[in-house]
């Protein structure tokens, strides 16, 4: 599973932040900085990954991640194929493993997978011997590229991740974004405050570096970054709070509550946003918000990851 290419990631796959060393995280962020400028050129394309092919295999809905991977691949001149569950043979009873092995028979260089089952990308590593596997979100487990683009975005506004106070607020229980961010940010030396209703915070977040509080004021007091999470109604089979109004009153972010944070606090959200449920619409569009910057940076960060997994040994600097 290790990668022997020079100036490259230590693994052939990117499955999660938990097993990604800090040196790899720093290399991805540094490489993304050099790729970002390509997207502002009149011709947004370099030949870096010409001849490489990437399959985006998405078993859950996605707007940002899927299009971002496709755009990233195309900006590097790789061929990108998008396959969603409705268009795949899984609807005809084919297993995930058979689907992946059939796709690998066509010699892609990377399979990017999003799946509702935690561990699905890890399982593919055992069955797809030749290509790299890239986790685009697996169940409630990890969403490593989101945490990397979030770290990149924070570093465009703050000098260092180390020493920052970052509040992650909302539906922690169903959030792979919360897990990946908590692991990355605490590895980098940030203080991570985890906040939400007790019914939406699972045990164990302290073990991955989070400090749990059920009080929003305590979480965002003097915070440098406030990361709001979507209430994931599609993952909830029970009701975890009495009403949307009560949820917003206690845990929704508004201008009034932002006074508890620092004046230059940035407001983040991985999207999609439920306006008026977890965040006031004016705040989502306000001057502290970096939500669309996160989406923009996602392309550069994913270009960097594709490049480091595939092209870094071929003297194909952008």
Q: Note the residues at the interface with ligand CP (CB under 6 A).
A: 62-65, 137, 146, 270-272
Taking the least distance from each CB to ligand CP, the nearer of 271 and 318 is 271
Q: Which is nearer to ligand CP, 108 or 137 (CB)?
A: 137
Q: To the nearest whole angstrom, how small is the minimum distance from the Cβ of residue 146 to ligand CP?
A: 5
**Around 192, how many Cα atoms within 13 Å sit in the side-chain half-sphere?**
26
Length of the chain: 318
Smallest gap from residue 70 Cβ to ligand CP (A): 11
Kindly state the smallest distance separating residue 38's Cβ from ligand CP, in Å: 22
Q: Are 176 and 139 in contact (CB under 8 A)?
A: yes
Residue 137 or 210: the one with the smaller Cβ distance to ligand CP is 137
Return the SS3 of 210. Answer: strand
Q: How far is the CB of 144 from ligand CP (least distance, A)?
A: 11
Name which of 28 and 212 has its Cβ closer to ligand CP.
Answer: 28
State the Cα angle at 209 between 206 and 213, rounded to 5°: 50
CA distance 198 to 250: 12
Nearest residue (CB) to ligand CP, 46 versus 183: 183
- Cα torsion 233, 153, 187, 15: sign: positive
Q: How far is the CB of 90 from ligand CP (least distance, A)?
A: 19
Shortest distance in whole angstroms from residue 10 CB to ligand CP: 25
Q: What gap in Å lies between CA 197 and CA 229, rounded to an integer?
A: 13
Report d(CA 53, CA 59) in Å as an integer: 19
For the chain, report the end-to-end CA distance as a whole number of angstroms: 26
Distances (CA, A) of 26 to 79, 160, 161, 207, 304: 27, 12, 11, 23, 11
Q: Which CB atom, from 46 or from 151, has the smaller least distance to ligand CP?
A: 151
Give the residue among 118, 119, 188, 113 at the shortest CA–CA distance from 147: 188
């Amino acid at each position: 599973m290790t990668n022997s290419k020079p100036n490259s990631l230590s693994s052939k796959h990117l499955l999660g932040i938990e097993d990604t060393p800090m040196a790899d995280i720093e290399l991805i962020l540094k490489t993304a900085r050099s790729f970002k400028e390509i997207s502002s050129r009149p011709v947004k394309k370099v030949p870096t990954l010409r001849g490489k092919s990437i399959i985006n295999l998405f078993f859950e809905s996605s707007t940002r991640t899927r299009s971002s991977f496709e755009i990233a691949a195309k900006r590097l001149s790789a061929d990108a194929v998008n396959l969603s569950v409705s268009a795949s043979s899984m609807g005809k009873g084919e297993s995930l493993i058979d689907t992946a092995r059939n796709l690998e028979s066509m010699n892609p260089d990377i399979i990017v997978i999003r799946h509702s089952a935690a561990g699905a990308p890890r399982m593919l590593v055992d069955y797809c011997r030749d290509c790299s596997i890239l986790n685009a979100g697996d169940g409630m487990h990890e969403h490593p590229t989101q945490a990397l683009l979030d770290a990149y975005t924070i570093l465009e506004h703050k000098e260092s991740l180390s020493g920052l106070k970052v509040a992650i607020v909302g539906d922690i229980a169903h959030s792979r974004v919360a897990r990946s961010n908590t692991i990355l940010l605490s590895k980098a030396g940030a203080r991570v405050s985890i906040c939400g209703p007790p019914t939406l915070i699972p045990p164990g977040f302290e073990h991955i570096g989070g400090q749990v509080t059920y009080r929003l004021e305590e979480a965002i007091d003097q915070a440098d970054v406030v990361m709001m999470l979507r209430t994931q109604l599609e993952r909830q089979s029970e009701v975890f709070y009495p009403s949307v109004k009560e949820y917003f009153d206690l845990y929704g972010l508004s201008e009034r509550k932002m006074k508890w944070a620092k004046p230059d606090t940035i407001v983040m959200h991985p999207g999609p946003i439920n306006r008026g449920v977890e965040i006031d619409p004016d705040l989502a569009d306000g001057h502290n918000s970096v939500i669309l910057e996160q989406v923009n940076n996602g392309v550069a960060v994913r270009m960097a990851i594709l490049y480091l997994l595939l092209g870094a040994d071929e003297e194909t600097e952008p």
